[in-house]
Chain A
Amino acid sequence: MRFRLIINFMFFYIYDSFLADKKYEKILGKIEIRLTNLGIAGRNIRLSILKNVEEIVKDLPEKDSPTIVIIGEDKTFFKAAKALVGKRTPIGFIPIRGNSIVAKLLGLPINEFACDVVSARLIETINLGKVNKETFFSFLEIPAKDVIITCDHQYLIRTNKLKKVRIFNLGLLQFGDSFRETEEKKMIANPKDKYLEILIGNPSERFLFWRKKEKLDSLFFAEKIDIISKKRNKKIPIIVDGEKIIELPVSIGLSRELIRVVVGRNRLI
């Protein structure tokens, strides 16, 4: 008698809210067919204004170690990943837009081609960053003017005529938020080392038909970072993962808890 071992993983697919647009119907159709052919079709959950991705992810059952897969864009993936801190549930990603930085770093093709990566279920454990009591997946952004950065309680960094500071856990070391094929040689911030990367410089700017290139001035590596404002009582906003805003002063480090991410073979981390 021959026995065939079949392991059924549970899969939850969370569809980004922008995918409700009719123009994505065809792509989603192809993804669903591919998932069914691979035998990994699961429960589909569609995000909307009323359905918050963090709450949905937190409420999903952990029993049988299901895989949560985000179909959509980087920002939604960041939010879902942060909601999984401390859980053993792995998270996968099917990127819909071709300029996804996460897709590039995790070695994921876009659209239906990413289904094969989800099916292979190759998992990497990575760090998350922590800013005060909140976690972040990719980066923080702060205006460089009027701040003092202290690294590892050992040295201070003061900036002069520079506009932006980005602190990375995972990402391409750049100020832009999308990946361009021409920039293949860019350095990456690796979430598997014990350091956060601090990038200081000026982002690219556009004036009518003229585009000023971004300027990367400085790069530091630190485990603990404290940032204060040079001027008392001055509120300086910090953008967390390209979205949420908190204010100075902040204490930044790596979260002790890790998350499990489904990656492709061509990953850069």
Chain B
Amino acid sequence: MSKKNEEVNSEAETIIGAGVEVEGTFVSSGNVTVKGRVLGSLETKNDLYVAETASIEAEVKAKNAFIGGEVKGDVVAEEKVKLSNSAKVFGDITCQTLSIEEGAILNGKCQMSKREEGKEE
């Protein structure tokens, strides 16, 4: 993960550190930082930060996803996906805004969903 991402990361709640492996269905409502290994599925209603040391083999859902590590699986973000130069994504990305730094690897399709304006519940 780039230094810039780490600065943004000050509000992080759940931290999946480099010394742990998580397997199963992980669901959170706060920010999530991944530095270790995740297998299964990973979902948060807030922001997801994937550090350079992270390895994720899971379907990923988040509000915004800032990816600097390896993700094998589809990434669905409500708003933004940002791939830094160390990111490796092997799967499809669905989001409203996509930003890819030079050096990032993306093997998959991208689908840009439209912003729903004036949406009524």
Contacts and interface: CB of A to CB of B under 8 A. Distances in A.
Interface of A: 154-162, 200-201, 216-221
A233 B115 CA distance: 56
30 contacts: A154-B24, A154-B26, A154-B27, A155-B22, A155-B23, A155-B25, A155-B26, A156-B22, A156-B23, A156-B24, A157-B21, A158-B20, A158-B21, A160-B19, A160-B20, A160-B21, A162-B17, A162-B20, A200-B17, A200-B19, A216-B17, A217-B17, A218-B16, A218-B17, A218-B19, A218-B20, A218-B36, A220-B16, A221-B14, A221-B30
A197 to B, nearest CB: 10
Interface in B32-79: 36, 40
A155 B24 contact: yes
Contacts of A161: 19
Q: Say what secondary structure dominates the interface of chain B.
A: strand
B19 A159 contact: yes
B100 interface: no
A216 B33 CA distance: 13
Contacts of B27: 154
Given A200-B19, A221-B14, 8 more contacts: A154-B27, A155-B23, A160-B21, A217-B15, A217-B17, A219-B14, A220-B16, A221-B30
Interface of B: 13-28, 30, 36, 40
Contacts of A220: 14, 16
Nearest to B21: A158
A188 to B, nearest CB: 13
Contacts of B26: 154-155
Contacts of A155: 22-26, 40
A200 B22 contact: no
B24 A159 contact: no
Nearest to A217: B17
Sorted nearest first, the 7 A-B pairs with minimum C-beta distance are: A155-B24, A217-B17, A218-B17, A162-B19, A217-B19, A219-B15, A158-B21
B113 to A, nearest CB: 27
A115 to B, nearest CB: 37
A220 B14 CA distance: 5
